[in-house]
Amino acid sequence: MLIVMTVGATPRQVEGVMEHVKALGLKPHPIPGAQRVAIGITGNQGAVEPALFENLPGVLEVIPVSHPYKLVSREVKPENSVVVVGGVPIGGDNFAVIAGPCSVETAEQTLTIARAVRSAGAQILRGGAFKPRTSPYAFQGLGEPGLAILRDVGLEVRMPVVSEALDERSLDLVIEYCDMIQIGARNMQNYSLLRTAGRLQKPVLLKRGMAATVEELLMAAEYVLAEGNYQVVLCERGIRTFADHTRNTLDLAAVVAVQRLSHLPIIVDPSHATGKRHKVVPLARAGAAVGADGLMVEVHHEPAQALSDASQAILPSELAQLMQQLPALLPLTGRHMAQPLRLSA
Ligand code: PEP
Ligand code: MN
């Protein structure tokens, strides 16, 4: 259910409607638009009677939302959302590139890669400290010391940083050290983690589960928004199919599908999607051409030595080449490279 206020509705009228919603035991979510304010309602188990709100002062119309997700839906918010990560805008017409190693391994490795991705033109630095590995015997990440390295390197190269939280315990640490919380494919339907991230005021990068439909991805994002955190960026990172020429199958149609249904930004991760270095750059270009709002790319200066995802890390020189090619593609979909909103100290 969406309550659309008139163009001239006063803040007091908006407040009055919000109070009315709360008095009914429901949760109001004010959504400021270019023209007017809308108020999304969650917390109802069944349909809500529009007549309850239609005659309140300042209300223009009451629209039932036809999708199971509400707050992430374009019906509720027609304009594209822009999520700002440490001063870097993602979404709208801003195309942002997140790059860095799969895992933080050492301070030296992270700084070397960070300098390279920064000079290539990437805006946000990634690096995993809590790694979801298929094998319990594989490198699991450095944990908190890894986050400290990532934060220090981010400050040194003046880039905001993103890292994955695997559970509530690591989430507590990630929010302390990072500008953005990554929730990975394996946790896309970890509803308690999504709810906890929803209670924070930090941008969330939510990756599509490897067997999740677009609707399931949007419902997962809805968990975060329903708790009050509207700063969600979605990520298409490939899904499991019968194909064995790539690690996963990059589903670029999902980008188009999501953009039709939702106002949230969506980026493409060609690294986990393909699993092979030589496929990463071509599919990164495809992601930009299809109209994604950004990319997430794994980069390593010595890929053969990488402690995780060695076969998909591209070299810094390959990232630099990609970054030079992107400006030719972005205008096709009305986008441009994101510029930091403010220079960090
Ligand atoms: C990652 O980004 O390092 C990662 C583990 O990705 P995904 O959750 O998409 O597998
Ligand atoms: Mn990885």
Ligand number nearest CA of 308 is: 2
Global confidence as pTM: 0.94
Output the CA 312–ligand 2 centroid distance in Å: 8
What integer pLDDT is reported at residue 43 of this predicted model? Answer: 87
Ligand number nearest CA of 234 is: 1
pLDDT of 292-322, one tens digit each? Answer: 999 999 999 999 999 999 999 999 999 999 9
Q: What are phi and psi of 238, to 5 degrees?
A: 90, 145
167, 190, 207, 299, best to mutate for ligand 1 pocket (most atoms within 8 Å of CB):
207
Residues with CB under 5 A from ligand 2 (ion): 102, 309
User: Residue with structure tokens 């092979």?
Assistant: 276
What integer pLDDT is reported at residue 33 of this predicted model? Answer: 83
Q: Which amino acid residue places its CA nearest to atom 10 of ligand 1?
A: 185
Ligand number nearest CA of 207 is: 1
Output the CA 231–ligand 2 centroid distance in Å: 23
Q: Which amino acid residue places its CA nearest to atom 3 of ligand 1?
A: 102
What integer pLDDT is reported at residue 67 of this predicted model? Answer: 85
What integer pLDDT is reported at residue 121 of this predicted model? Answer: 98
Output the CA 179–ligand 1 centroid distance in Å: 17
pLDDT of 160-206, one tens digit each? Answer: 999 999 999 999 999 999 999 999 999 999 999 999 999 999 999 99
Q: Which amino acid residue places its CA nearest to atom 6 of ligand 1?
A: 184
Q: Which amino acid residue places its CA nearest to atom 9 of ligand 1?
A: 185
Output the CA 65–ligand 2 centroid distance in Å: 37
Other Cβ atoms less than 10 A from the Cβ of 292: the count is 27
Output the CA 185–ligand 1 centroid distance in Å: 6
CB of 237 sitting under 6 A from ligand 1: yes
- Environment class of 50 (CB within 10 Å of its CB; exposed 0-12, middle 13-18, buried 19+): middle
Please list the rounded mean pLDDT of every run of 10 residues in the chain (345 residues).
93 96 94 88 87 94 88 94 98 98 98 98 98 95 98 98 98 98 98 98 98 98 96 98 97 98 98 98 98 98 97 98 98 96 59
CB of 102 sitting under 6 A from ligand 1: yes
Ligand number nearest CA of 307 is: 2
CB-based contact 325:318 (threshold 8 Å): no
